[in-house]
């Protein structure tokens, strides 16, 4: 149990950086007219994640055991990560044109302001 508490502390420490730096990063990369929507989408993540995670974790703990909450997370993360990376890889392949030297690339289109919405879909 002490290791669970220790690792929970480490996860919270590492997870605090996106909360502290996310809005500033979005403000730097987004166009001014689309900044409000982008920050609103970004800000809903911690709120919705806390609610859904608590409800699902409580349901799993009540009906199976507390270990099942960790097993579900351990199986969902790789599947979602591979799906997101596959979408990103396909999108980058369609927007990048190889130059004469295969080590250098040029982008055909400028990044659009709806980048966050496309990444999350």
Cα 34 to Cα 84, 91, 114: the distances in Å are 23, 22, 8
Rounded average pLDDT over 9-26: 85
Among 73, 56, 64, which residue's Cα sits nearest to residue 8?
Answer: 73
Amino acid 100: pLDDT: 46
Confidence of residue 99 (pLDDT cuts 50, 70, 90): very low
**Cβ(23)–Cβ(39) under 8 Å?**
yes
Note the pTM of the prediction, 2 decimals.
Answer: 0.49
| Rounded-to-integer distance, Cα 78 and Cα 103, Å | 30
Amino acid 117: pLDDT: 64
The tens digit of pLDDT for each residue in 32-82 reads: 898 999 999 998 988 898 899 889 889 998 998 888 888 888 888 888 888
Strand intervals (E) in 19-101: 96-98
Helix or strand or coil: residue 117?
A: helix
| Rounded-to-integer distance, Cα 84 and Cα 48, Å | 19
Among 98, 116, 90, 96, which residue's Cα sits nearest to residue 27?
Answer: 116
Cβ density class 88-108: b for 16+ within 10 Å, e for less: eeeeeeeeeeeeeeeeeeeee
């Amino acid at each position: 149990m002490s290791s669970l508490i220790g690792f929970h502390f480490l996860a919270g420490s590492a997870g605090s950086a996106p909360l502290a730096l996310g809005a500033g990063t979005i403000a730097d990369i987004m166009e001014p007219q689309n900044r409000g929507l982008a920050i609103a989408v970004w800000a809903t993540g911690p709120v919705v994640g806390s609610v859904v995670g608590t409800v699902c974790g409580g349901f799993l703990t009540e009906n199976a055991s507390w270990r099942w909450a960790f097993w579900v997370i351990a199986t969902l993360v790789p599947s979602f990560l591979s799906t997101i990376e596959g979408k990103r890889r396909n999108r980058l392949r369609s927007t990048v044109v190889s130059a004469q030297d295969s080590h250098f690339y040029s982008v055909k289109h400028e990044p659009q302001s709806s980048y966050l919405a496309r990444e999350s879909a």
